[in-house]
Structure 1
Amino acid sequence: MAELVFFLGTMDCGKSTLALQTSYNYRQRGLRGIIFSMNDRAGTGKLSSRLGLITDAVEVTRETDFWQAVNRLRLAGRVDYLICDEVQFYTRSQVDQLARIVDEIGINVYGFGITTDFLTRLFPGSARMLELADRVERLQVEALCWCGARATHNARTVNGIMVREGEQVVVGDTDNRDVVAYEVLCRKHHMRGMTAESVRAGELSPRTLLEEHE
């Protein structure tokens, strides 16, 4: 039976790499699929991993109707599976459409994404995936905080300093000489707002701070 599967983890834990590997494995078995992505670091219509792997993808917008899109693409040939990267950015109704594709057409849907934003709040798309998925898989490759502990939270930084306000979705960029980026932290240092840059600026020893975990 077809399944809706949600692969989740923090940034830097290999979600996009696994998405690319999953698609490759199915193609090797002669199956045909569609790759969807949204706000990928490589640009519009791409799915890429930090390891340097990249492939073409169908770009998702908030207006994308997966039900209509998949049925239109099926006219051109068989569709056996969908790879959906960055599902945290999808709307709740779009995740509902993915579930409908599984249930009514019988196509496997594999979603990949992070669960919470820089304020530790659930993204709407991820929340809906958790509510509807037949199976939820946490990626086993652990991202690490600058201190060496397991990273569990995503932080937004401006010029290396953690911020706690702003829109939920902001793609990393350089604007007016301010560098907006993201960093994974353990819960303790996320709560304290301690990024790698702030530690360097304060001349604090990562080894000393790591001992606080013990």
Structure 2
Amino acid sequence: MSESIQPTRGFAEVNGAKLYYEVMGAGHPLVLLHEGIADSRMYDDQFNAFAQRYRVVRFDLRGFGQSDLPPGDEPVALYEDLYGLLALLGIKKTYVLGMSMGGAIALDFTLAHPVMVDALILVAPGVSGYDMTSFEVEYKAIGEEIEEAVKRGDYERASELETRIWVDGPERTPQQVDPVVRQRVYEMNLHNFRNMGAAEFPPP
């Protein structure tokens, strides 16, 4: 029964960052990669269910959730954080599920380490290197407002604006979105802004 399954929680030192992770269940490994406006809690509803059949791994990307963002300007490939975490957990082959930014990381990881991926599940994935010019033009004004809000430390405003883009979308009002979902995303994203400060965010 699901009540008897308890997750293992911890922090892993990977590529100079301390990454928060959770593992639950038995069976073939399944990694869940969160999007850029959330953290691993976005899979709360799926985590327990998937753990009935799989050894499920979820973690906060560096700078997100409970994971830290080490100081310094050296670029880090986020998919190599995944590789490092799996190595520490002793996982050599896995299913990988990623959404949005997490999908981009899943794609990059698969290209870099194809023998480790038994299945790739993508939900509205980002794509590394994709030309975002058309998107940036369409959302230029709101993007500039987000940037200014971050510069002055108004992370509440920045999170609300990003929630409008990524949760409400261009054709809906906030009132048309599930308020519970919207609030959860807003709070996770606000935490990320506070955690990362003025550091450059990757697209969700």
The TM-score, its normalising length taken from structure 2, stands at 0.36
Which protein has the bigger strand share? 1
The TM-score, its normalising length taken from structure 1, stands at 0.35
Which protein has the bigger helix share? 2
Which has the higher Rg, Structure 1 or Structure 2? 1
